[in-house]
């Protein structure tokens, strides 16, 4: 008797395992495309037409940023709710249904992307951001919708578990892992409204030929309404692992349960009203609105810095319980030979570096220096590409035995894998950042030009390319080792000598947290109000200027009735006056 | 063999030498690390001035500041 997850929840373990394997398949294909791009861009090995680079880039972005991350996190969230509420899901058929819907959505999205490699008419090489006027095959958008609906139903599943648990435990605090799942899910519901509107109201009808044009700035803005919070959808499960797993693996306890709750509440409130910071260079959005988005973004640094403190303090608690001493000497007492620990700790270290490049991106005027350059690619390979991906790979070494009932194939290979990822990403991401400062563009198959050379103050473009190619090669090798371990573990026989399915205790527990922190309705309401503040004026002003479906608004069938039309015109004019006032105020503040 | 290793490394109590409670725990090491991170951030923030303003033409210069600077010179 080992008390693993698969023994306590055999049916759920199957779904979690399926979600993990789906995510690993996406990681394998997306990772392969990663090395192809690296070699193509740097010019080391170009075996395909440069036009196909954008198909590869689309597949890389969608498969890694959407499929890999989200399949993994739905697995983690299902584990978290069942384990911390100590109850199975309410209806396992429903759980399989949302998982199935996500699979169908992924396949439908992948078909037109991969068709881009063939001579067929079908293609969707629109990149991860699918900005209009780039138009993908309708199947691409339809698949994305199904995938997102699948995640919504997954959220319903986790809420159902909580509601049922609450009936039986009316006076108990929400267990921390479930609290994290619920706040993240609420944030995701709000965030995905933007992409749902962009696709269902505009891009899908346009792709089907039902409407003739779209307003590109409107669909872009709706994309980023979702596009920034989606990074927290990836990051929150990684944070959850840092809060509930890392302290335990360090040999200690979570420093503060209340602080962890505050962090997740802050992410629920502040994740969405920040998306416009991806659009600092978009003409057509007034500076004042961008300033508001910047302010919200800077506030968003707070929960990440709180996390840095809480997580490091929890690790220190573990190190001191293991006999560590001194100001920095305690670091040596940490279990660095444990791949689960080493991977997560290195991921956290990389995230600290990403914090700095993120602050550069977030500053409105400094952003102009790096916007659309390779810097940005360097930044998100530190965040989603390391803080999230490396944490996910590291915890996989803990989760695999839990959901398969089999011992990990090889811990030394696992340790080598996480270290190799860290080293590879150090080379690649550092060179990408520096390339961006020289003005080397992102999303470009052949970033070299006749009669023009990027000048580096230190080093050279050739040196940067060499670092990127080397880093990419190390990352690919790291992936190979990762999959060797996944497959090796799957082929192992069942073991009855595995660690129990447990997560970290706390030094300061939930009883120290104010009750109001568990008031999810209140935080959701505040989140919605902030979104309305941040987005209603920019969206109305974009619609007023460019029309709902592009500049020729009057010629498109948007009339519902004269009364409504009058109401609409009045609202627009009132809102415009108000927004001008806000812009003027914003400009004052900016001055 | 790998199973034994799995068991040992994940058994947190194997290297557990003392129990530190809420009130005895003084996270001075955390303060040290976060302090170092803060100093790195401050250094990079100053360094950014050289990258942005000395490596390139200024991207955003406040009209007020330019006016004050020229005003100061003429006075």
pLDDT tens digits along A467-516? 999 999 999 999 999 999 999 999 999 998 899 999 999 999 999 999 99
The 10s digit of each residue's pLDDT in A107-151 is 999 999 999 999 988 999 999 999 998 999 999 999 999 999 999
CA-nearest of A289, A384, A390, A380 to A344 is: A390
Q: What is the mean pLDDT of chain A?
A: 92
**Domain with B53 in it:** 27-61
Predicted confidence band of residue A570 (pLDDT cuts 50, 70, 90): low
Of the candidate ranges A53-62, A475-484, B59-68, the one whose mean pLDDT is the lowest = B59-68
What is the reported pLDDT for B48?
80
CA distance A269 to A186: 10
Compute the distance between CA of residue A334 and CA of residue A318 in angstroms, rounded to an integer: 7
Chain B residues whose CB is inside 8 A of the A328 CB are: 29, 32-33
Say yes or no to pLDDT of B71 above 90: no
Residues A87-109, mean pLDDT to the nearest whole number: 98
Nearby residues of A135 by Cβ (< 8 Å), 6 or more positions away: A126, A203, A206, A207
The encoded tokens of residue A157 equal 């599943």
Q: Please say if the pLDDT value at position A555 is more than 80.
A: no
Q: Taking a C-beta distance cutoff of 8 angstroms, is the pair B36, A327 a contact?
A: no
pLDDT at residue A315 greater than cutoff 90: yes
pLDDT, position B56: 59
Residues A337-365: pLDDT tens digits?
999 999 999 999 999 999 989 999 999 88
Taking alpha carbons only, the member of A2, A1, A123, A144 closest to residue A70 is: A144
What is residue A551's three-state secondary structure? coil
How far away is chain A from the Cα of B16, in angstroms, using its nearest Cα?
5
CA-closest candidate to residue A80, choices A67, A69, A93, A89: A89
CB atoms B28 and A352 under 8 Å: no
* Domain-embedded: residue B5: no
- Residues A195 and A211: their CA atoms lie apart, in Å, by 18
Q: Residue A323 — left, alpha, or beta (φ > 0 → left; ψ -120 to 50 → alpha)?
A: left
Query: What's the domain count of chain B?
Result: 1
pLDDT at A481: 98
B33 within a domain of the structure (yes/no): yes
CB–CB contact A251 B15 (8 Å): yes
Interatomic CA distance for residues A408 and B1, integer angstroms: 11
Q: Looking at the complex, report in whole angstroms how far the Cα of residue B71 sits from the nearest Cα belonging to chain A.
A: 18
Q: Which residues are registered as beta bridge partners of A494?
A: A406
Terminal Cα distance for chain A, rounded: 68
- B37 within a domain of the structure (yes/no): yes
Nearest-angstrom CA–CA distance, A347 and B62 = 39
Domain A5-558 is found in CATH 3.40.50.2300: no
Strand, coil or helix: A324: coil
Q: How confident is the model at residue B14 (pLDDT cuts 50, 70, 90)?
A: low
**What is the torsional sign of CA A319, A416, A240, A492?**
negative
Give the whole-number percent of chain A exceeding pLDDT 70: 93
ipTM for the whole predicted complex goes beyond 0.90:
no
Tokens encoding A10: 């055999």
Whether B63 shows a pLDDT value over 60: the answer reads: no
- Would you tell me how many other CB atoms lie within 10 Å of the CB of residue A496? 11
What is the per-residue pLDDT for A339?
98
Q: How far apart are CA A368 and CA A361, in angstroms?
A: 9
Chain B residues whose CB is inside 8 A of the A356 CB are: 40-41, 44
What integer pLDDT is reported at residue A578 of this predicted model? 59
CB of A307 closer than 8 Å to CB of A235: no
Q: Say which range, A86-100, A260-274, A447-461, has the weakest mean pLDDT.
A: A447-461
Q: How confident is the model at residue A227 (pLDDT cuts 50, 70, 90)?
A: very high
**Min distance B60 CA to chain A CA atoms (Å):** 6
Q: Which two tokens stand for residue A56?
A: 């590869």
Rounded-to-integer distance, Cα A149 and Cα A136, Å: 20
Hey, are the CB atoms on A251 and B12 less than 8 Å from each other?
Answer: yes
| Cβ pair B6:A401 closer than 8 A | yes
Phi, psi of A550 (to 5 degrees): 105, 180
What pLDDT is attached to residue A546? 87
Assess whether pLDDT exceeds 80 at residue A157: yes
Does residue B19 belong to any structural domain of this protein? no
The residue-averaged pLDDT of B39-60 equals 74
Which are the catalytic amino acids of A?
Answer: 228, 232, 379-381, 442-443
Q: What pLDDT score does A552 carry?
A: 52
Distance between CA atoms of residues B12 and A335, nearest Å: 9
Residues with Cβ within 8 Å of A569's Cβ and at least 6 positions away in sequence, in order, are none
- Cβ burial of A497 (10 Å; 0-12, 13-18, 19+) is exposed
Cβ of B27 and A338 within 8 Å? no
Nearest CB neighbour to A316, from listed B29, B51, B60? B29
Q: Please report, for chain A, the start and end positions of each structural domain, with discontinuous segments joined by +.
A: 5-558
Closest partner CB to A320 (pick from B10, B11, B20): B20
Using CB atoms within 10 Å of the CB of residue A253, give its burial: 0 to 12 exposed, 13 to 18 middle, 19+ buried.
buried
What is the sign, positive or negative, of the torsion defined by CA atoms of A549, A551, A557, A563? positive
CA distances from A235 to A242, A351, A468, A493 (A): 10, 10, 25, 33
Helix (H, G, I), strand (E, B) or coil at B17: coil
pTM of the prediction? 0.89
> What's the average model confidence in pLDDT over A60-71?
97
Q: Is the pLDDT of residue A522 over 90?
A: yes
Residues of B in Cβ contact (< 8 Å) with A362: none
In a domain, B42, yes or no: yes
**B12/A249 Cβ within 8 A:** yes
Could you report how far apart the first and last alpha carbons of chain B are, in Å? 83
Dihedral sign for Cα atoms in the order A555, A558, A559, A565: negative
Residues A129/A194, Cβ–Cβ less than 8 Å: no
User: What b/e string do you get for A314-338 counting C-beta neighbours within 10 Å, with b at 16 or more?
Assistant: bbbbbbbbbebeeeeebbebbbeeb
Q: Report the pLDDT value the prediction gives residue B62, as an integer from 0 to 100.
A: 46
Answer whether residue B40 is part of any domain: yes
- Percent of chain A at pLDDT exceeding 90: 85
């Amino acid at each position: 008797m080992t008390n693993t997850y698969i023994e306590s929840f055999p049916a759920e373990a199957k779904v979690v395992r399926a979600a993990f394997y789906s995510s690993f398949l996406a990681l394998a294909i997306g990772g392969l495309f990663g090395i192809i791009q690296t070699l193509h861009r740097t010019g080391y090995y170009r075996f395909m037409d440069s036009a196909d680079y954008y198909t590869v880039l689309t597949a890389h972005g969608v498969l890694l940023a959407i499929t890999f991350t989200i399949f993994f996190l739905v697995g983690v969230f299902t584990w978290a709710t069942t384990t911390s509420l100590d109850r199975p899901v309410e209806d396992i058929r429903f759980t399989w249904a949302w998982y199935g819907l996500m699979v169908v959505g992924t396949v439908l999205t992948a078909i037109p992307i991969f068709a881009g490699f063939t001579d067929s008419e079908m293609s969707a090489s629109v990149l991860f951001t699918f900005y209009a006027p780039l138009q993908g095959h309708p199947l691409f958008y339809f698949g994305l919708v199904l995938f997102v609906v699948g995640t919504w139903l997954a959220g319903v599943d986790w809420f159902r578990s909580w509601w049922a648990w609450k009936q039986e435990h009316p006076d108990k605090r929400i267990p921390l892992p479930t609290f994290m799942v619920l706040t993240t899910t609420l944030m995701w519901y709000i965030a995905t409204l933007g992409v749902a509107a962009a696709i269902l109201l505009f891009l899908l009808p346009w792709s089907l030929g039902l409407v003739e044009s779209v307003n590109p700035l409107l669909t872009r803005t709706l994309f980023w309404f979702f596009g920034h919070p989606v990074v927290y959808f990836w990051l929150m499960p990684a944070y959850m692992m840092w809060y509930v797993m890392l302290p335990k693996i360090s040999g200690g306890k979570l420093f503060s349960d209340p602080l962890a709750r505050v962090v997740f509440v802050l992410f629920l409130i502040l994740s969405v009203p920040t998306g416009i910071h991806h659009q600092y260079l978009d003409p057509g959005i007034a500076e004042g609105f961008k300033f508001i988005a910047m302010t919200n973004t800077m506030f968003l640094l707070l929960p990440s810095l709180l996390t840095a403190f809480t997580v490091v303090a929890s690790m220190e608690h573990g190190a001191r319980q293991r006999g560590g001493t001194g100001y920095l000497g305690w670091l040596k007492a940490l279990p660095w030979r444990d791949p689960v620990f080493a991977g997560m700790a290195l991921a956290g270290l990389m995230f600290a570096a990403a914090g700095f490049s993120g602050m550069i991106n977030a500053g409105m005027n400094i952003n102009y220096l790096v916007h659309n350059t390779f810097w940005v690619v360097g930044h998100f390979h530190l965040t989603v590409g390391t803080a999230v991906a490396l944490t996910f790979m590291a915890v996989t070494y803990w989760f695999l035995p839990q959901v398969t009932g089999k011992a990990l194939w090889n811990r030394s290979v696992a340790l080598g894998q996480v270290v190799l990822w860290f080293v590879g990403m150090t080379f690649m991401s550092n060179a990408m950042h520096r390339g961006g400062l020289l003005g080397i563009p992102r999303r470009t198959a052949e970033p070299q030009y006749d009669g023009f050379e990027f000048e580096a103050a230190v080093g050279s473009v050739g040196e940067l390319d060499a670092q990127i190619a080397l880093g990419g090669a190390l990352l690919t090798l790291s992936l190979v080792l990762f999959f060797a371990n996944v497959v090796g573990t799957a082929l192992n026989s069942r073991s009855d000598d595995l660690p129990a399915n447990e997560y970290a205790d706390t030094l300061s527990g939930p009883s120290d947290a104010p009750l109001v922190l568990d008031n999810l309705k209140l935080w959701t309401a505040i989140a919605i109000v902030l979104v309305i503040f941040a987005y209603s004026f920019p969206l109305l002003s974009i619609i007023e200027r460019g029309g709902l479906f592009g500049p020729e608004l009057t010629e498109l069938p948007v009339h519902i009735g004269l009364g409504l039309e009058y109401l609409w015109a009045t609202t627009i004019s009132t809102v415009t006056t108000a927004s001008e006032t806000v812009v003027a105020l914003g400009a004052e503040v900016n001055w | 063999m790998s199973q034994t290793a799995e068991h040992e490394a994940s058994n947190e109590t194997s290297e557990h030498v003392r129990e530190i409670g809420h009130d005895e725990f003084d996270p001075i090491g955390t303060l040290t690390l976060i302090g170092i991170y803060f100093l790195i951030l401050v250094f990079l923030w100053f360094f950014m001035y050289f990258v942005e303003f000395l490596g390139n033409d200024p991207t955003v210069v406040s009209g007020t500041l330019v006016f004050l600077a020229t005003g100061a010179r003429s006075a």
